[in-house]
Amino acid sequence: MTAAEILTLPARKGRACRLSKGQAIKIINTHGHQVVDTWAFNAEDPREFMSHEHSRPLTGSIFPKKGEHLHTNRRRSILFFEEDTSPGVHDTLIASCDDYRYGLLGCTEYHDNCTDNLHAAMRQIGLVPPDVPAPLNLWMNIPVASDGKIVWGEPVSSPGDYVVLRAQIDCIVAMSACPQDILPVNSGKTVEAHYQILS
């Protein structure tokens, strides 16, 4: 890894970046309790994207882990999950939050949300996401019981924990610092995270 600028993913906002095949993104949970919704799209055709329902048959698990590949809806690797200094608790089951969700949670005014953040982040680099795939919710703690019940847990990660995801094809990675401050998934505090592009 070469030294690279540390970039800010602002609290409650989104960012997207391009990775060439072989480059990686290091996503840093600076404060330890911030969920980062993460998406990946094929740079040449964003209709191909990271898709958990297509990954699960290949990894045999609903929880992606260090050392595994993240696959697309065309059943090939888009990112390799190369490093993870956290306890490895990440979610793939829950959609990114959106305006509809905050309405159901009682909000009567606009609430920042990860779905709008994805669209804004992609527009910042000149793209329109063709879809809103289920994100990789880094550090989101959604335990699943054997009867299928899920609960909203608080993050179990620590300040400075990071993951490294290495591009297996030229791709776009988009992130949103989840603004969910009604449920406990961000421990009630929505803060910034950081990221670096690594060669």
Residues of the shown chain interacting with a second copy in the complex, contacts defined by CB under 8 A: 51, 53-54, 56-58, 60-63, 73-76, 93-95, 98, 100-101, 103-104, 131-132, 134, 144-151
- Angstrom distance (rounded) from CA 75 to CA 57: 10
User: Least distance in Å: CB of 88 to a second copy?
Assistant: 10
User: Least distance in Å: CB of 1 to a second copy?
Assistant: 29
Q: Report the residue number, 36 or 197, with the smaller CB distance to a second copy.
A: 36
Q: Report the residue number, 47 or 123, with the smaller CB distance to a second copy.
A: 47
User: Least distance in Å: CB of 198 to a second copy?
Assistant: 28
**24-29 and 36-42 strand pairing:** unpaired
DSSP 144: B
Cα–chain center distance at 158:
17
- Angstrom distance (rounded) from CA 97 to CA 57: 25
Q: Report the residue number, 108 or 146, with the smaller CB distance to a second copy.
A: 146
Which residues is 121 bridged to in the sheet? none
Describe the strand order of the beta sheet including 36-42 as a list of residue ranges. Answer: 14-19, 171-177, 36-42, 136-138
Q: Report the residue number, 62 or 156, with the smaller CB distance to a second copy.
A: 62
User: Least distance in Å: CB of 94 to a second copy?
Assistant: 6
Q: Report the residue number, 5 or 147, with the smaller CB distance to a second copy.
A: 147
User: Least distance in Å: CB of 57 to a second copy?
Assistant: 6
**CA 181 vs CA 24, 140, 195, 198: distances in Å:** 30, 13, 22, 31
